[in-house]
Structure formats: C-alpha cells, structure tokens
Copies of this chain bind each other. A is one copy, B any other.
Amino acid sequence: MTHSQPLLPLLAEAKERVAGELHRRLHAEGFVEIRPSHGCVFRFIEPEGTRLTVLADLSGLTKQAVGEVADDLERLGYLERAADPADGRAKLIRLTPEGRRSRSAALRIMGEIEAEWAERFGPARTTALRELLEELTGRAGAPAA
C-alpha cells in the first residue's frame, strides 16, 4: 500500500471542511447559531414538513438525538411543530420562514463553494468528483431540488 491514508478519513475530513466553510459563511450572513449538528434536520426535512421518526430513520440517529436538535432549532426560530394533517395526533416538524431562508442561503453557499472548487481544481476534476459520488450514493440523475 502506498496510500497516504484510507478513503474514509479523507471523505470525513472533506465533508467537515465543507461543513465548516458553509457554517462560517452562514454566520457571516446573519444565520447565527446554526451548527453542523443541525444538519440531520436540514438535510432531510421536506417542504411540507416531516415527522421526527422519519428524520431519525434517514439520519441514522436516535429519535431522542434528533428531538434535541429539533428543540434547539425551534428555540432559535428556524423550525416549528404542527399537527400532521394525515394524523391529528402526530406532529410534523417544518421550517419557519426564517428556516427556509437559511436553507436557501445554505444551498446557494454550497453552490458557491463548488464553483470555487471548479476554479481551483478545474471543472473536469470537480465534475468527475461529483459524478463518482453520485454513482456511489445512488443519487445519479436525481432532479434538481
């Protein structure tokens, strides 16, 4: 093996660097107190709202752990709980207008970071990275959000 280090820590560190940069820029734009740990909600929440148990399943975290993140985001004004129209006893979690603004800003910033990579590493290499990650995760060909 002539590898400098295994792919897993490389992927982990790349992800942490992008997340760190995203959060620095979100804070600079006034979306304060959003932290990488909040990603388990922002990454999976649907526009019309999502049940806590679904977020827990998708993120691989416990319902309690996601519940704590949801409590935190509710306290910060990014998230609210509402009755589920499909089941009056169940609650949906959904973004407030401020939560939707922060999510839009995050999507724009991530696009900016990718454009900076294309400039730094070349568009062909950046596209190749994206395509391999999409194949690997089975996300190839998914429609734009």
User: Using a CB–CB distance below 8 Å, which chain A residues touch chain B?
Assistant: 1-19, 22, 39, 43, 60, 107, 110-111, 113-114, 117, 121, 125-126, 128-130, 132-137, 139-145
Contact check, A17 vs B136: say whether CB atoms are below 8 A apart.
yes
Q: Is the interface of A mostly helix, strand, loop or mixed?
A: helix
Interchain residue pairs with CB less than 8 A apart (9): A1-B144, A4-B143, A5-B145, A6-B114, A8-B18, A8-B22, A10-B139, A13-B139, A14-B136
Known: A8-B18, A12-B15, A13-B137. Contact between A130 and B3, CB under 8 A? Answer: yes
Which B residues are CB-close (under 8 A) to A14?
11, 133, 136-137
Known: A12-B15, A15-B12. Contact between A5 and B139, CB under 8 A? Answer: yes
Q: Report A36 CB to chain B, min CB distance, Å.
A: 8
Which B residues are CB-close (under 8 A) to A130?
3, 7, 10
Known: A12-B15, A15-B11. Contact between A4 and B139, CB under 8 A? Answer: yes
Q: Nearest B residue to A36 by beta-carbon distance?
A: B60
